[in-house]
Amino acid sequence: MLGSDFGSGQVLWSMLWFFLFFIWIWILITVFADIFRSHDLSGWAKAIWVIFVIVIPYLGVFVYLIARGHKMSEHALEAAQAQDAAARQYIQQAAGTTTSAADELHRLADLKEKGVIDDAEFQKLKAKVVS
């Protein structure tokens, strides 16, 4: 009985509304993630944006996208770079390929003895390793 009343046009219409709802939820999650990962916003500014998006969702999200949309890609890039750096550091630590400061200073001393680098370069690189 229910199957006969539910035609193919109704199925497509229901699927369209489902996907639009799914996209809306995705946009909300993206906006909230960007609000909380923004280092340039104070805690009060974050609270105001969250309240604005919760109280007036459509207007809040669209105003946020207009006002701070250009910063969203910068925040996503910073987060991806931080995650990549942490993964690389973990992989190097797990593989045991990290070099200590003493090993690096020994390598620099060998390069200086062989004449590959001069004393000024040695001192500059030594200061960089020590710091």
Task: Output the 3-class SS for 29-57.
Answer: HHHHHHHHHCCCCCHHHHHHHHHHHHHCH
CA distance 124 to 118: 10
Condensed to tens digits (0 to 9), the pLDDT of residues 86-112 reads 998 888 888 766 667 778 888 888 888
Count, in order, helices (H) and strands (E) of the chain. 6, 0
CA distance 15 to 57: 22
* Unique residue bearing structure tokens 């489902």: 18
Residue 127's alpha-carbon distances to 22, 98, 122, in angstroms, are 54, 19, 9
CA distance 78 to 19: 30
What confidence tier does 131 reach under pLDDT thresholds 50, 70, 90? confident
The answer to which of 51-60, 72-81, 90-99 has the lowest mean pLDDT is 90-99
- Predicted pLDDT at 116: 80
